[in-house]
Structures are given as C-alpha cells and as structure tokens.
Amino acid sequence: MLTASLKNKKLFTTIHYTREELKEFRKKGKDQFYCPQCFASLILRIGNQNVPHFAHPAKSSCDHRHISESAHHLLSKKLLYDRLNQLFPEVYVEYFLKELRQTPDLFIKTTQKPIAVEIQCSSIPISDVKSRTIGYRQMGIIPFWVLTQPIKKSSLLHLTSFQQSLVSYSPHLHYYLLQFQPENKVFHLYTRLIPVTASTFISAYSLKIPLDEFTLPISLYPSQLKDAFIPRVWTTNRKKWIRNRLTYHNDRDKPFLREVYFEGDILLYLPLYIGIPLFPHAILFLTPPVQWQYYIWKDVLKKYRIFSSKLVIRQVRKRIDRGDIKVRSFPLIQMETDYHQLIMDYLTILEEAQVIVKRIDGNYCLSHTWNFPKNFHEFEKHEKEFFPILKHILKME
C-alpha cells in the first residue's frame, strides 16, 4: 500500500515525499501509520529499489493484507498517479470507498463522474472483475482497468481468459485491450481484436502510447488508426486452425468433425466464406468462426432454398442453447452486444460477396447451388477466385 492513515485521520501517501523525508517521519515514532481499513499499525518500508510503501504486520487479518503488491504493481501505481495528476486536479491513491468496501488503486474526482483506476498485474477471478465493475457503476463511478501483466505474443496475441475479461469496446477502437508496461513507461493498445481461436487473436492495429502522452479517456482519432489488417494473415491462420483440428483429434472437436463428415463436406476444403473474420463483433463468440459459420450453413443455408435472417438467428440460438456455440462475455462492456448483429453482419458479407442474394420479399437464397471444392485442386481454384473478394469486403472503413 502507498497510503496510510495518520493519528489525526488524515491520509498520508508515500509517493508525495522523498525517501529522506520519509526516513525522518519514520524516525519520529513507531505507531504513527495506520491501515485506513482495519486501523492496524503499519510498517513503512523504504528500500532503495521499490517505491516506498506500507505493509501490515505479519499476523494481520485485514483484507488489504491479501492484496499481493509486487514492486511492479507499486511502480505502476506511482507512475500512473504522476501522469493522471497532471491531467486531473484531484487524484487519490488507494481511496477507500466505504459503501463498496473497495479500494481502487487510484481514484479521480472530476467535474463529471469520478473514475476508479484498478491496476491488475495478477490474475483475479473474472467474477471479481464483474462484481467490482458493477459495484462502481452502481455508485456512478467509471471503472478503468489497466492490465500490467505481460502478454504472450507470436504472430498472434495469446490472451488468458482473465486478460480477455479486460477487453473493452469503443466505436473507434472496436474491441481493444490496454496494457501498461511500467518498466518502459508505455501503454500498449491492442485494437480491433479478431479471434482466431478461443485464446488467440489478431490485433488488426496495435500501437504504443508513451505515458506522458496518455489521456483519459483514451484519445485517438480514427486517422491514427491505419488500415493494417492483412487478409493473408487471416487465411493463413484459418487454414492452420483447420489443420490442427484434423491433426490433433481433440475430444472437444469430435462432435463438430463428425457433423462435417456426415454432411459429406470436407473440412480442409471448406470455402473461404465459411470462417470470415467479421468486424467488429466476431469476438462475441468463443467458438471459432469456421465452426459457427459452418453450423449456419448446415442448419439453414444448405437446407432451405429460401430463408430469412430470423430463421438463421433462431438456429444459432439453438446451437448456443445446446452448447455447440459458446459466447464470450465482457464484464467491462456496457453496450448491448448481442450476437444478432454478428449474424446480420455475416449475412451482409455473404450478400456482398454474392454468395447469397436478398430477394424482394426480404428473404435470402443462395446465388448458386451448394457446390464446393471436393479436392485440393478445386479448392485452390476457389481460393484464387475468392481471395480478392475477401480482400475487398474486409477493407475496413
């Protein structure tokens, strides 16, 4: 902790003082710093490496004691305080909210709604992210979560379910994740996240924001977000996902593979329009795009000569109820993100790609009878024809 209560109930925060000043305070007497929550006497630690901080004595039962605060966390808190204090006149460190029994790392009073900053370097249960977020909102407080954990990166982002729970949404950034790296004093913003599997994502655009340029809310203009999404990356990963299903024979995949097989379809040669990365809402489904889009084909598009969007949505709902399609939930996102929009986006893209046609009565039908690649040669031909169309329809605004 960085903040303690004094005998006169005033709050005392270490980062407002130099190490020398703190050492002077400490000399004055032992029992002068108290936990604002449990009122136990605290120990002031002033090392050479870490940010000076308070600690409970070893045998304490205070809730605060269990919050493991690494040097990394203390540093993040100090750096973010320094920056936010330049932007807002009233920023508090570890502000205890009695009604919620919550102590956000930083609390900002503004002319409008106050903001609670939660810095997260260790994983906590997603139910806690959810309940804290709801608690803040009920009190009219805007929660702002900052992830300071490292993120595993290859050509894709690998996000744990905890990290995914901190994904947020804005109309400009689409679904995004904000990470702060205290050692480099830089924020890393991963925007326009497209799911490849349940735990891997393409960030169509990611950028670094130096701490001294960071603002709250995040101010980035669409012009700063270039169209950086490469359909090639998508098709490569789509292919890889399919190959992995066929290679590893996971029990989890068996029901899906069986359905494809008994339909007489060949997973390896499914047309590219099954498994389209849909902007921005594809992330709503935990089930990968190839799989849920195939269900739509199997349940509706292959089955009915004429179909309505309502029928497609109804069939998807059945799949969700049966657990064939799994939905992601995002505790931080308030917008009504239901999957109906995602299904409509898929139909729109199929229409744009002239795979389906909208009739005058508002219903749809296939533009050609279902006839897809049966072998590698036919698939290559399809890929060559369809890739430019895919490139065109995936062009972001």
Determine if 73 is a binding residue for Zn ion (CB under 5 A): no
Between 62 and 142, whose beta carbon lies closer to Zn ion?
A: 62
Between 37 and 131, whose beta carbon lies closer to Zn ion?
A: 37
230 phi and psi angles, rounded to 5 deg: -110, 115
Between 62 and 218, whose beta carbon lies closer to Zn ion?
A: 62
Distance, CA of 72 to CA of 243 (rounded, Å): 40
User: Contact at 8 Å (CB) between 381 and 373?
Assistant: yes
How far apart are CB 107 and Zn ion at their closest, in Å?
18
How far apart are CB 149 and Zn ion at their closest, in Å?
25
Distance, CA of 34 to CA of 9 (rounded, Å): 9
Please, what is the angle between helix 289-296 and helix 339-352, to 10°?
Answer: 80
Segment 30-49, which members bind Zn ion (CB under 5 A)? 35, 37-38
How far apart are CB 1 and Zn ion at their closest, in Å?
8
How far apart are CB 41 and Zn ion at their closest, in Å?
10
User: Contact at 8 Å (CB) between 207 and 190?
Assistant: no
Of 286, 260, 255, the residue nearest 271 (C-alpha): 260
Between 107 and 205, whose beta carbon lies closer to Zn ion?
A: 107
Between 55 and 62, whose beta carbon lies closer to Zn ion?
A: 62
Of the ranges 60-68, 121-129, 166-174, 188-196, which one interacts with Zn ion (CB under 5 A)?
A: 60-68
How far apart are CB 36 and Zn ion at their closest, in Å?
8
How far apart are CB 138 and Zn ion at their closest, in Å?
25
Tell me which of 11, 46, 55, 62 binds Zn ion, using CB under 5 A: 62
Between 54 and 346, whose beta carbon lies closer to Zn ion?
A: 54
What's the burial of 24, exposed, middle or buried (CB within 10 Å: 0-12/13-18/19+)? exposed
**CB-based contacts of 99, cutoff 8 Å, min separation 6:** 139
Number of residues that bind Zn ion (CB under 5 A): 5
User: Contact at 8 Å (CB) between 210 and 370?
Assistant: no
Of 343, 294, 330, the residue nearest 174 (C-alpha): 330
- The dihedral built from the CA positions of residue 142, 148, 153 and 159, taken in this order, carries a sign that is negative
How far apart are CB 257 and Zn ion at their closest, in Å?
54
Tell me which of 64, 192, 238, 328 binds Zn ion, using CB under 5 A: 64
**CB-based contacts of 185, cutoff 8 Å, min separation 6:** 79, 210, 211, 212
Distance, CA of 347 to CA of 357 (rounded, Å): 9
Between 35 and 147, whose beta carbon lies closer to Zn ion?
A: 35
Tell me, rounded to whole angstroms, the distance of Cα 346 from its chain centroid. 22
Of the ranges 57-65, 165-173, 281-289, 385-393, which one interacts with Zn ion (CB under 5 A)?
A: 57-65
- Interacting residue ranges for Zn ion, rule: CB under 5 A: 35, 37-38, 62, 64
